[in-house]
Amino acid sequence: MVKYEGKVVIALQVNGEAHEVAVRPSDLLLDVLREQLGLTAAKPGCLNGDCGACTIMLDGWPVKSCLMLAVEAEGHVVLTVEGLNGTAPIQKAFVDADAFQCGYCTSGFLMVCHALKTQNPLMPKENIIEEWLQSNLCRCTGYQEIRRAVRLMYEST
């Protein structure tokens, strides 16, 4: 059994690196990534699980890091946009498709798309793509460009 009280040091596996961080059990994964590890790609947008700007990948699935405690991530594999190293097909696809304007929601969308491809190596039907991407909000684009980016991601590999 695990019991964490006060401030504790936990081990997190983030972007292929092992990190030890001192956290309060009530600290959110989002805050720990941003404020302690300096991984600020994941953004606070609503802190309520509604906008998806803080989406990261946990064991290959998308997770909104504002609705997860950092202590829950122990023993799991966390991936953020920084861990994509600029080489994930979705990153180039987003550039080529003009799939962002202000860029604030971009990291979250990138991680959802990357997780989509991780779970569905072949392009799924449009309704599956929609279902996954409906977890995120973009206020600048009309979403058409983001759809195009998902297609480019699948076509590029």
Partner 1 sequence: MIPFNFIYYRPDSLQEAADIYSTLQSKGQKAVYFAGGSEIITMCRTGSIQPKAVIDIKNIPECGLLSLYNQKLQIGSVCTLNQISESKLFPLMRLACGRIADHTNQCRITLGGNLCGSIIYRETSLPLLLADAEITLYGPEGERTVPLRSVFYQCMQLKPGEMIVQVQIPVWALSARHYHIKKTANEKIDYPLVSVAAICKDSKLRLAFSGICSYPFRSEQMESALNQQTKSFEERVKQAAELLPEPVYADAEGSGEYRLFVFKNTLRQLLEDWDNGKI
Partner 2 sequence: MNTAIGKSVRRKDAWDKVTGKALYTDDFPISGVLAARLLTSTCAHARILHIDISKALGIKGVKAVLTGADCPELFGPLLQDRPALARDVVRYAGEPVALVVATDKPTAERAVRLIKVDYEPLAVVLTPSQAMAEGTPLIHKQVNGYKKLLTDIYPEAGTNIASRYRMQKGNTAEAFQRCKVLVEQRFFLPPSAHLAMEVRTARAEISSDGSVLITASSQSPYSVRKQLSEAFLIPAGKIQVRVPYVGGGFGGKAPVMLEVLAFLASRSVGGKAVRLTIPREQDMASAPCRMGLEADLKVGVDENGLIQAADLTYLLDCGAYTDISPYMTKAIAMDCTGPYHIENLSCDAICVYTNHTYVTSFRGFSHESFTFCIERVLDMLASKCSLDPLEFRIRNAIRPGSLTPSQVECTASLTGDLTKCLNNIKQLAQWNGGNAVPIKENTVRAKGVACFWKTENPPTDAISGAMITFNPDGSMNLNTGVVEMGSNGQTHLAQILAEKLQVDADQVHVVTSVDTRTAPEHWKTVASLTEYMAGLAVVRAADDLLEQLRSNGSQVFGCPADEIEVANGRVFSKKNPEQFIAFKDIVQGYKSQQGESIGEPVLGRGGFMLKGLSMLDPQTGQGKTGPEWTLGAQVVEVEADLKAFSYRILNASTVIDVGKVINPESMRAMIAGGMAMGISLSSREAYIYDQDGIPRLPNLRTYKLMHIGQEPDYRVGFVETPEDNSPYGLRSFAEHGVIGIPAALGNALAAAFGRQLVILPLTPETIWRTPSEEHV
Binding of residue 53 to partner 2 (CB under 8 A): yes
Using CB under 8 A as the binding rule, the residues of this chain from 110 to 149 that contact partner 1 are 112, 131-132, 134-136
Q: Which does residue 41 bind out of partner 2, partner 1, none, counting CB within 5 to 8 angstroms by kind?
A: partner 2
Residue from 18, 20, 48, 86 in contact with partner 1 (CB under 8 A): 48
CB of 149 to partner 1, least distance (A): 18
Smaller CB separation from partner 1, 96 or 120: 120
**Count, residues in the chain:** 157
Interface stretch with partner 1, choices 47-55, 77-85, 92-100, 149-157 (CB under 8 A): 47-55
Q: Is 22 exposed, middle or buried (0-12, 13-18, 19+ CB in 10 A)?
A: exposed
End-to-end CA separation in angstroms for the chain: 44
Backbone angles phi, psi at 78, to 5 degrees: -100, 135
Site for partner 2 in 5-34 (CB under 8 A): 24, 34
Q: Is 31 in the site for partner 1 (CB under 8 A)?
A: yes
Q: Which does 80 bind (CB under 5 to 8 A by kind): partner 2, partner 1, none?
A: partner 2
The total of other beta-carbon atoms located within 10 Å of residue 15's CB is: 18
Interaction between residue 84 and partner 2 (CB under 8 A): yes
Verify binding: residue 157, partner 2, rule CB under 8 A: no
Which residues have C-beta within 8 Å of that of residue 154, sequence separation ≥ 6? Answer: 117, 122, 123
Contact partners, residue 57, CB within 8 Å, separation at least 6: 63, 78, 79, 80, 111, 114, 115, 118
